[in-house]
Each structure stands twice: as C-alpha cells, then as structure tokens.
Amino acid sequence: MIVFFYDKTFEGLLTAIFDAYSRKIFPDHLLEVGDVVPMFTEEEYTVVTQQDRADRVWSALEKKMTKGALNMLSYVWLSEEEESDDLLFRYIKKVIDSKISIETDFSDDDVLQMHKIARKVSHEELYLKQFVRFQKAADDIFFATVSPRHNALPLALSHFRDRFSDQKWVIYDVKRKYGYYYDLTTTQEIILESDDHLLSGKLDEKLMAEDEKLFQELWKGYFKSMTIKERMNLKLQRQHMPKRFWKYLTEKQ
C-alpha cells in the first residue's frame, strides 16, 4: 500500500495530485501529517503544500470540468465525510485521465458517491439559509450560532452578505469553533477565545440589546397566535425543520 501524508487542506490535496503525476506514483490512501503509518505500507510520501502546484492542477480541472462539477469538488471537501479526500483524489484522477467527461457517469461508484455527498452538503447549506436566527447584541452587532452536520457555513456566506448587507453580523459555528464577521464592507474569519457560553445558541441577556428581548417575545407571540393546535403535525414539522436546529430558533424556545 502507498500512503501520502499531507496537511489536510484543499490546496494540499491538489498538491498531492500534482506530486503523484510528477512521481508517477499514486497513493492508495491519504493521511494527515502526524497520523500513524498503517500496517502493510510499502511506500510513504509527505506532500509539502505549494500554492503554485495547486493552482496548476485547478487550472487543468477548469479546462476539463463544468462550473457545477468544480463546485461539487468544494462541496465534497467541506462534507468532512470519512475518507472524502481519498474519494476526491480518485475522482480528480479519473477526470484528468479520461478523454471524455465523467461527470454524469453514474455507473462509476466514485462519481455516484461524489454526487450523493455533494447533495447532502447542499441540503445543509439550504438549512443554514432557512434557519439562522440573529440576535441583536448591545454593540448593535447581530449574532447567530450554528452547528451544521457538514462544514457548510462558507457556502452560505454570499447569501448572508446579500441579504443582510446593511448590518454588521457574526455567524459562529460552535461545532467547528470558528465563524465569520461582516463589517458592512468585508467578511473575515474569526475564532472566539471562549465559546462555551454559545453552545445553547442564545446570547446572555447581559449582552443583548435593550430591544432584543422584546422583539423575541413579540416573535414568539406571533408564532403562537398563528399556530392551529388541531392541525399540528410534529412529524411533518421535523421533516421540514429538523429538530437539531430548534435550539437556535427563537420561536421554538
């Protein structure tokens, strides 16, 4: 078995592809630098991420793949599924080696798995757009916490920049301990020194703007007044609004 070690970045993965073709040796498995070498490993190689090599591979893919298929690579990478980097490596190698497009060759299990995983991440992106609830902090910054199954927050950023372009906001992924801050001009990644208090999905009342609690109570009242008890269908509600998002929804508190 041949194993490549790399830094678990997308640029590192593309560099690994470049190095594999340069060395004419292709890995059976990709591992992070520092992982234990598996038994029966015949050869191992450590990839040093180089942006110029990653760019060359990406440029080659742009010539052979549609925009939708290129986006699919990003979705699968952000899925964080086990061995998704191995799947990406095999898929990209097939794209490079094939003289015709393999994007819809669903008889190939790797192509099929790529589409299935990308679809799951796409659903998670949609859930973020639907179920993020902002709370207004005392410094007039709107704050929201999320914990999606897949690392879909980067995919939803453009939606929030367009939809809430006139206000400062922070969306923080408490599962992965990072987030994004929008200052009316640019969006930058942030990491909070201590985020344990955000696990509940609610700001401490001491950090809320004076009118935020009132707005939350008004929204709860509206939600309650619109509910017809005789027509409640919790099974259908969970189907369209997964229960794992409820703790972040003001109306479900």
Q: What are phi and psi of 7, to 5 degrees?
A: -90, 10
Crossing angle for the helix pair 153-163 and 67-79, nearest 10 degrees? 110
Picking from 64, 125, 128, 71, the residue whose alpha carbon sits closest to that of residue 94 is 64
CA-to-CA distance for 127 and 112, rounded, in angstroms? 23
CA angle, residues 228, 229, 230, in degrees to nearest 5? 95
Rounded-to-integer distance, Cα 199 and Cα 217, Å: 21
Rg of the chain on CA atoms, in Å: 22
Q: Which amino acid is at 142?
A: F
Query: Sign (positive/negative) of CA torsion 92, 97, 102, 108?
Result: negative
Rounded Cα distance, 23 and 47, in Å: 12
pLDDT of residue 63: 95
Per-residue pLDDT of the chain (253 residues; tens, 9 = 90+): 999 999 999 999 999 999 999 999 999 999 999 999 988 899 999 999 999 999 999 999 999 999 999 999 999 999 999 999 999 999 999 999 999 999 999 999 999 999 999 999 999 999 999 988 888 887 788 889 899 999 999 999 999 999 999 999 999 999 999 999 999 999 999 998 766 656 556 666 555 555 555 445 555 554 565 666 767 666 766 666 777 776 776 665 6
Q: Are the beta carbons of 172 and 197 closer than 8 angstroms?
A: no
Q: Are 184 and 157 in contact (CB under 8 A)?
A: no
Read off φ and ψ for residue 5, nearest 5 degrees. Answer: -105, 135
Query: At a CB cut-off of 8 Å and minimum separation 6, what does 79 contact?
Result: 117, 118, 120, 121, 150, 151
Q: What is the dihedral of CA 66, 72, 74, 80, to 10 degrees?
A: -160
Q: Which helix (H) or strand (E) holds 121?
A: helix 109-131
Q: What pLDDT is attached to residue 222?
A: 43
- Asked if 29 contacts 38 with a C-beta cutoff of 8 angstroms, the reply is yes
